[in-house]
Amino acid sequence: MIEMYLGMFSGGWAIDGRTQAWSAHDDPVAALESWVTEIERQRSRRWRRASVALWLSGGLARPFLCGPVAGLANWDEAEAMAIAMAPDATGLALPCSVRLEAWPGDATALATAVDAQLAQAIAALAGTRRVKWRSVRPRWAALLDEVLAQHAAASLVACVEDDSLTILGGSAREHDAPGAHFELAATHSPLPVADRMTAMWLRTMLSRDVKPEHAWLARLQTPHPGIDRPAGDLAATRGWPDAMRQVEDVSP
């Protein structure tokens, strides 16, 4: 399995959980294109038949809450509204590409904004370089899945990356899966300094009256070329690069 992780300032690619390259960059689009070229050059046979999982950092793929708004007629109107909201809600500049996870007319919906140039570059690579994206997801979304799979009662989750702090909060409504109803979704980028980040996290817990056992914070580990994951560790193959092996619970 080929995976890529793309952040605002660094990233790289891996095969079967083993990091092949990791480097700093100034331009995420140029970095992504260079990794595709490198993989094609080094592993052309496997590249032609393998799909690729692309993970985006919270600095590049920023969540926000959209709606509810009465009177929306169709998805085109809903997406146009979300695109208009995205810059103020996330700090990204226009133009943005936005994905809505649900209909924002009746209740608040989770949305994710990505710079339009980056979104277009990802789509173009799939069309011109024989790249088949197995998935294109924010890393914080995979972390949320991992936390809820192990701790269904979690109501506050934070993902710390080199370029951002992403916080997601909510509570499960009756008949909904845990985390289906989001009440908080925000990315702070650049990453706040350690003391400020801790204060923000604890303040969020207190303001939402979240018990320590229901609040989870994970810091992504920056991988290095040549480091292997434990053999047979299936959990470690999801969402490269890894979060810390133990997700932290932070008590006020």
As a three-state string, the secondary structure of 51-93 is: CEEEEECCCCEEEEEECCCCCCCCHHHHHHHHHHHHHHHHCCC
* Per-residue pLDDT reduced to its tens digit, 201-230: 999 999 999 988 889 898 888 776 655 444
- What's phi and psi for 34, nearest 5 deg? -70, -35
Model pLDDT, residue 176: 47
- How many whole angstroms separate alpha carbon 189 and alpha carbon 27? 16
**pLDDT at residue number 140:** 94
Q: What is the pTM of this model?
A: 0.88
Q: Roughly how many angstroms between the first and final C-alpha of the chain, as a whole number?
A: 40
Give me the residue label for tokens 């269904």. 152
**Sheet architecture: strand order including 182-188:** 182-188, 164-170, 156-161, 215-219
Q: Give which of 49, 92, 85, 55 is closest to 67, Cα–Cα.
A: 85
Rg (CA), the chain: 18
* Per-domain residue ranges of the chain: 2-58+117-237
pLDDT tens, position by position, 86-142: 999 999 988 999 999 999 988 899 999 999 999 999 999 988 877 789 999 999 999
Q: What percent of the chain has pLDDT over 90?
A: 54
Residue 238's pLDDT is 52
Residue range 34-75, pLDDT digits in tens: 998 888 777 666 556 557 899 999 999 999 999 899 889 999
- Whether the upstream peptide bond of residue 241 has omega within 30° of 0, thus cis, is yes
pLDDT of residue 48: 63
